[in-house]
């Protein structure tokens, strides 16, 4: 969620995404690795291994003939790619404001910006209001 005071146009990589308040969806990737381990019926299912030994009538069955399988899982590493975003807030009569954010897997974050007005006239042209 991106907001500013006063409401301003928001730009990401030079492209206008809208006027505040605006929701911005950012896609980035979390680094992960695949862990694979071999599973053998001899280690994980002793009952089946015993039945195979009985069914073979006492003949020796080499381990490579026993059914084996592998178990894989994805393990998150906690680091991210393309997770940095630079927001620029622009409004006529105000100095541009920039915010850089490094996303770390949060489902949602709020970004607030307070724009500062710039004067265009000289001091002699300015009038104090009551």
Q: What's the CA gap between 126 and 48, in Å, rounded? A: 92
pLDDT at 59: 62
Residue pLDDT tens, the chain, 130 long: 898 899 999 999 889 999 999 998 888 888 899 988 776 655 556 677 677 777 777 665 555 555 567 788 889 888 888 888 899 999 999 999 999 988 888 888 889 999 998 875 544 444 444 4
The C-alpha atoms of residue 110 and residue 96 are separated, in whole angstroms, by 19
If one counts the domains in the chain, the total is 2
Q: Domain holding 9: CATH number? A: 2.60.40
Q: Which helix (H) or strand (E) holds 47?
A: helix 46-55
Range of the domain at 117: 2-28+82-125
108 close to 84: Cβ distance less than 8 angstroms? no
Would 130 be classed as within a structural domain?
no
Predicted confidence at residue 51, as pLDDT, reads 77
């Amino acid at each position: 969620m991106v907001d500013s005071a006063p409401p301003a146009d928001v730009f990401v990589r030079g492209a206008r995404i809208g006027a505040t308040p605006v929701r911005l969806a950012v896609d980035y990737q979390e680094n992960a690795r695949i862990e694979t381990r071999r599973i053998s019926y001899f280690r994980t299912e002793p009952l089946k291994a015993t039945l195979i030994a009985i069914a073979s009538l006492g003949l020796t069955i080499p381990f490579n003939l026993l059914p084996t399988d592998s178990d894989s899982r994805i393990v998150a590493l906690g680091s991210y790619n393309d997770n940095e975003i630079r927001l620029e807030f622009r409004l006529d009569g105000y100095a541009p404001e920039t915010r850089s954010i490094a996303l770390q897997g949060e489902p949602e974050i709020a970004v607030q910006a307070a724009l500062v007005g710039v004067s265009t006239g000289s001091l002699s042209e300015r009038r104090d209001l009551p």
